[in-house]
A and B are shown apart, each in its own frame.
Chain A
Amino acid sequence: MFKKILIANRGEIALRIVRAARDMGILTVAVFSEADRDAAHVRLADQAFCIGPGPVARSYLNIPNILSAALIAGADAIHPGYGFLAENARFAEICADHDITFIGPTPEVIAKMGDKATAKRVMAEAHVPTTPGAGILDTLEEAERAAERIGYPVLLKATAGGGGKGMREVRSVSELATAYQTAQAEAEANFKDGRLYLEKLIERPRHIEVQVFGDRFGRVVHLGERDCSVQKPSHQKLVEEAPAPQLPSAVRERLHAMAVAAAKAVNYTNAGTIEFLVSGNDVYFMEMNTRIQVEHPVTEMAYGVDLVAEQIRVAAGEPLSFTEEDLRPKRHAIEVRINAEDAHKNFAPAAGVLSRVVFPGGPAVRVDSHVTAGDIVPPYYDSMIAKIIVAAPTREDAILCMQRALAETEIEGVHTTIDICREIMADPVFADGGVAIDYLQRPHAFASV
């Protein structure tokens, strides 16, 4: 087992990893930017190194400084958390070159899944359905033929795209020419790459993802699914739960089986998540995340496992500590993300000082957070300041428990997503379960948006 782990991250996930390591008797090394000098992960780790100024490019993405800190500290492994370097195949490779274990899958698998086209091909080979689509389109005529073949509505997307730029919904052939030109111009302007491809538009799908885990002995298990359909308009998740409510058991079983098959197809090791779009009985592979996810506590609370400790054990070469037969969801878990954001202004991040912070407690409530009163929310990083997770025997009880937890939560000094989360927990539509990813965008449904 490792003696010392460097945590190449900040915020609540850095703290989460410090806690897992401490439970296992492993020493921790924190890294921090100048803006995080007083951060909780720095205080609680056994050792800490400042690796750069506030902006992430010069600190949390600064591979030489992070690696140099690991070597000086004598760390034998690096946990990348999520975001930053977590899905950087080159970083995983460099760690290996320096005899430091990267806690995650192999660089080859990270690279394979990080490339959208390759990932889709690998999934298709493993008989996992992907969104019907067409490769790169050279002309408008080609786009017309492809759309005809796939069937409207379709989605035109920029190959270099991201954040919805260079993306257009097209409902009929009459809309295609204009959409093609504007999407191409937008892609050219934003990414200096005007190439487009086309995909079937899945209307009002649910976002359901499956947690998988593989070890070095070729074993792969799944830990069920998480429903992450409650998303901000930017498609960032706000509420997650496990198991997914109102999901036909045939669909659920198919998702689990496909996720395991896909992970086995790439000899997947460590924790990973396969994201699907689900529409009725149809499921489509969206992407695979080769890291621990923000919402992993939902699975931990439902199944009674420690995924971060398992990541460390598997990276150290141990076999998985559970078998598929052991793994049954024992409770229904829900997580809400408390972000320093103004929901009224399209969830714009709100930096500032937290003048008052009160987190909930009591039975079945877990809070993963790195902030306390007096802390600053720096402008450089993700705006998430806490995750509140609850678990109860039934979904109804879990919602009641979350209502209680959110009623106890008080954060002052910055705008937060507490109010919108309270509204969601009181919403009969959410209580019915099975909402689609446009749930938060229904007009006039929420006072806090």
Chain B
Amino acid sequence: MSLQRPLERLRPLLASFAASDLTHFELRDGDFALEFIRRKPPHVGAAPALPVVAPVAAAPEVTERIVRAELVGVLHWTKPLISLGSQLEGDRQVATIEALGVNTPVRAGGSGVVTRVLVNDGDAVDYGQALFVVERV
């Protein structure tokens, strides 16, 4: 396995491993060896376990949350419209995604301040597309 651009090559593999049900992944080729091990989460109900690769860099504290589309459809912002700096309280509905004649609500998912709005009203969105970003306060 060529190790030019090692990180670039490993990142998708790591993501694939993280998304899989595998607990162990091993790749050997000549002198090269790579091993991913999934550790059990510390508590039941905690965030899904991430694969551990040594050395582990300290993860930055997450303060931003991206709200994404969970289905393919056309986005319509609902009133009161959110914009840069909007204060969101609780889990209020901020938009709907219209698909096959059905409107599915998009919720804020928690309190915070809107720091980015990434789609326009009437835009087609696909699964996982980032809609807006909320910063926790």
Contact = CB atoms under 8 A, between A and B. Distances in A.
28 contacts: A34-B19, A34-B127, A35-B19, A49-B126, A49-B127, A50-B129, A52-B127, A53-B19, A54-B19, A64-B71, A64-B99, A65-B99, A65-B127, A66-B72, A68-B72, A68-B100, A72-B72, A72-B124, A351-B20, A351-B22, A352-B13, A352-B27, A376-B16, A378-B16, A379-B16, A379-B20, A379-B22, A413-B29
Interface in A16-73: 34-35, 38, 49-54, 59, 64-69, 71-72
A69 B72 contact: yes
B74 interface: yes
A68 B129 contact: no
B25 to A, nearest CB: 8
A52 B127 CA distance: 5
B87 to A, nearest CB: 30
The bracket for how many chain A residues form the interface is 20 to 34
Nearest to B98: A68
A363 B72 CA distance: 44
Contacts of B72: 49-51, 64-66, 68-69, 72
B92 interface: no
Contacts of A98: 100
B29 A412 contact: yes
A353 interface: yes
A50 B27 contact: no
- The 5 A-B pairs at the shortest CB distance, nearest first, are namely A68-B99, A355-B1, A65-B72, A68-B72, A50-B126
A395 B135 CA distance: 67
Nearest to B19: A54
B2 interface: yes
Interface string B108-137: 000000000000000010111100000000
B12 interface: yes
Contact of A374 (B9, B25, B124, B127): B9
The bracket for how many chain B residues form the interface is 20 to 34
Contacts of A72: 72-74, 124
Contacts of A35: 16, 19
Given A64-B71, A72-B72, A412-B29, A353 B20 contact: no
A376 B25 CA distance: 13
Interface string A349-386: 00111010000000000000000001010111000000
Contact of A50 (B19, B21, B22, B127): B127
B24 to A, nearest CB: 12
B33 to A, nearest CB: 13
Contacts of A67: 100
Contacts of B100: 64, 67-68, 71, 98
A412 B2 CA distance: 11
A54 B129 CA distance: 15
B5 to A, nearest CB: 9
Given A49-B126, A52-B127, A355-B1, A68 B73 contact: yes
Contacts of B12: 38, 353, 376
